[in-house]
Structure 1
Amino acid sequence: MTLPQDAAPPDRGRPEEIRAVPVRHPGRWVAVVVIAVLAAMLGHLMVTSSVLHWDVVGQIFTYPTVLAGVGRTLELTALAMVIGIVGGVLLAVMRLSKNPVLSGASWIYIWVFRGTPVLVQLFFWNFLGALVPKVGIGIPFGPTFASWNYNDLVGLFTAATLALGLNEAAYFAEIVRAGILSVDEGQAEAASSLGLTHAQTLWRIVLPQAMRVIIPPAGNETISMLKTTSLVSAIALEELTRAGQDIASRTFYEIPALVAISFWYLLMTSILSIGQYYVERYYSRGTNRVLPDTPWQKVRKNLLSFQRHEGAVG
C-alpha cells in the first residue's frame, strides 16, 4: 500500500534525549589513595627521622668543596659530551662508509668501548702510564723528537675526561648512524644530482633532517653522562660524589651527605631535562602541524580537565 503524495508521514514523536553517564574509573581512585598513603608515609619519615638532620643537609648542600665538586661535575660532563659528539659523528660516518677499512675500524672501536665497563676504562686510562711510560712525537718505529712522562701529561682530570668522552663516542656513533639511516635515500640522490659533494650532502641535507631522531637520545645521553661522572670518584678525582664522600667520612653524617648531593644531581638533571624538551620541540617544527605543549601548558590542561571531570561527576 502506497501513501498519496500529498499525505504527511505519521508523527512518531521526537526521540528521547541521550543521557550521557560518565565512565567510572575506580582503579584510578585506588591508585590515587595508594600513592597518597605512600607519599604521606615518606613525608612523615622525612619530618620525624632523627638521622636526616636537615640543618646538616643544608650546610653540606652549600659547602665550598661540594660547590667546587658541582663545577667539576659540570665541566667533566661538558667536555666528555663534546668529545663524544664529535667522535660519534666521525665514527658514524666511517661506519656508513663503503670503504671496508674505515667501516671495520669504526665497528671495532664501537665494539671495544661499548663492550667494556666505563669503570674499567677509567682505571685503564689512569694506570696506562705503567704500559706506556712516555709519550713522544717522532717518526713511527724511528727517532723521537720530543717525549713526556705519561703521568705528568695525563693527570686525573684528563684521564677521566678521555675515558668518559671516548666511551660516549661509541654510543653516540650508533645514535647518529640511526639518525642518518632514518633520512630517505632519495634526499641524498637529489642532492647528488644537484652537484653537491658527499660532505655537503651530509652536512646540509642529511644531518639537519636526522636531528629530529638524534636529539631525544642525545639528551638522554647528556643526562646519563652527568650521573656517570660520579664514577670518577673511584680514581680519587674530587667531583660532587667524591666531595660528599669526603664530608661523610670526616663527620660521619653519611645520610645527610648523600641527601645533599642527591639534591644537586636532581637539580642539574631537571635543568637538563627542561632544556632537552625545548630542543626537541624546536626540531619537531617541520614534522608536527601543532607544536607539543610546554610543561606549563600541560599542567594547566591537566588541571582544567580534572576540574571538568570533577564537575561532571558532581
Structure 2
Amino acid sequence: MDFSILIDYFGTFMEGFKGTVLSSLIALIGSFLLGAVIAVFRMGPVRGLRWFGTGYVEFVRNIPLLLIVYIFYYGPSALGSSLDGFTAGTIGLAVYTSAFIAEAIRAGIMAIPKGQTEAARSSGLTYNQTMLHIILPQAIKLVIPPLGNQFINLIKNSSVLTIVAGLDLMYFADIINTDTYRTFDTYIFVALFYLVLTLPLSYGVRAWERRLQRKY
C-alpha cells in the first residue's frame, strides 16, 4: 500500500468523509421519522392509510436504490426545477431506508400486547396519542438492534451518491484515482474510512442487543 496517497490527499479524503457523514446523518433522521409514520399508517384504523403504507413499503423495498436516487435527481427537471447531487442522493437514501425501518418498527408495534392499546384508549387517549406516548416508545426500544443494522446499511449505501456527483467519499476517491492511477490503494483507504463509521455503530448495536437479552 502506498501511504503517500493518504498523506498527499488527506484533505480530499476528509472532504468526502464529511460529505458521507453529513448525508448519512440527514438520511438517518429523515428515514427514521418517515419510517415511523409509515409504520403507524400500516397499523392504523384508517383503511386508506393502511393501503398507502403497505403500497409505499412494497414499492420502495422492491426497486433499486439507484433508481430512487435517479428519480429525485432527474425528476425535478421535468417540473422546471433541479436538485444537486448531494440533496437528491440524500433524499433518495432516506426514502429507500425508511421502507425497511417502517417494517422494523411495525414488528416492534406488533410485539406490544394489545391490552396496552385497549387500556390507553379506554382511559380517553386518542389513537395518535396512544401510539405516540405508549406504544411507539416501547416498540422502538425493542427493535433498536434491527434499526441499528439498517443505519449501518444506510452508511454503506451512501456510496450511491457518487453516481450523481454527491460529494461523498466515493466521489472524491474517484477524483484521487484519476489523479494517481493507484486504484487499489485509493479504495482500500476509502474502505478504512467507512470502517471508522460502521464498526463503532456495529459494536454499539451488539452491546445494546445483549443488554436487551439480559433484560427481557
Structure 2 unaligned segments of length 5 or more: list them: none
Q: 2:57 aligns with which of 106, 110, 129?
A: 110
Q: How many residue pairs were aligned?
A: 216
Q: 1:274 aligns with which of 169, 178, 203?
A: 203
Higher CA-based Rg = 1
Q: 1:120 aligns with which of 63, 67, 91?
A: 67
Change (3 A) 1:219 1:279: same
Q: What pairs up with 1:26-105 in 2 under 5 angstroms?
A: 52-53=1-2, 55-59=3-7, 63-105=10-52
In the aligned structure 1, how far is the partner of 2:214 from the partner of 2:185?
47
Structure 1 unaligned segments of length 5 or more: list them: 1-51, 134-149, 289-314
Q: What amino acid does structure 2 have at the position aligned with 1:252?
A: Y
Per the alignment, residue 123 of structure 2 pairs with 194
Report the Cα offset of residue 286 of structure 1: 8.3
Q: CA RMSD for the aligned pairs? A: 1.9
In the aligned structure 2, how far is the partner of 1:58 from the partner of 1:232?
22
Report the Cα offset of residue 273 of structure 1: 1.8
Change (3 A) 1:286 1:263: closer
Measured against aligned partners, the alpha-carbon deviations of 1:33-76 in whole angstroms (never above 9, x if no partner) come to: xxxxxxxxxxxxxxxxxxx22x235426x611110111110111
In the aligned structure 2, how far is the partner of 1:98 from the partner of 1:225?
31
Per the alignment, residue 137 of structure 1 pairs with none
Measured against aligned partners, the alpha-carbon deviations of 1:266-300 in whole angstroms (never above 9, x if no partner) come to: 11111212333444466x28834xxxxxxxxxxxx
1:261 aligns with 2:193: no
Structure showing the higher helix proportion among its residues: 2
Measured against aligned partners, the alpha-carbon deviations of 1:76-118 in whole angstroms (never above 9, x if no partner) come to: 1111111111111111111112212111111121122111100
Change (3 A) 1:223 1:168: same
In the aligned structure 2, how far is the partner of 1:181 from the partner of 1:116?
26
In the aligned structure 2, how far is the partner of 1:85 from the partner of 1:211?
10
Q: What amino acid does structure 2 have at the position aligned with 1:79?
A: I
TM-score where L is the length of structure 2: 0.92
TM-score where L is the length of structure 1: 0.64
Per the alignment, residue 226 of structure 1 pairs with 155
In the aligned structure 2, how far is the partner of 1:101 from the partner of 1:218?
27
In the aligned structure 2, how far is the partner of 1:120 from the partner of 1:208?
33
1:158 aligns with 2:87: yes
Report the Cα offset of residue 227 of structure 1: 0.6
Report the Cα offset of residue 225 of structure 1: 0.6
In the aligned structure 2, how far is the partner of 1:116 from the partner of 1:85?
19
Q: Conserved in 2, the CA contact under 8 Å of 1:57 and 1:259?
A: no
Report the Cα offset of residue 190 of structure 1: 2.0
Report the Cα offset of residue 212 of structure 1: 3.5
Q: Conserved in 2, the CA contact under 8 Å of 1:118 and 1:163?
A: yes
In the aligned structure 2, how far is the partner of 1:198 from the partner of 1:210?
15
Report the Cα offset of residue 174 of structure 1: 0.8
Report the Cα offset of residue 229 of structure 1: 0.5
Report the Cα offset of residue 205 of structure 1: 2.0
| Larger relative contact order (Cα-Cα within 8 Å, sequence gap ≥ 6) | 2
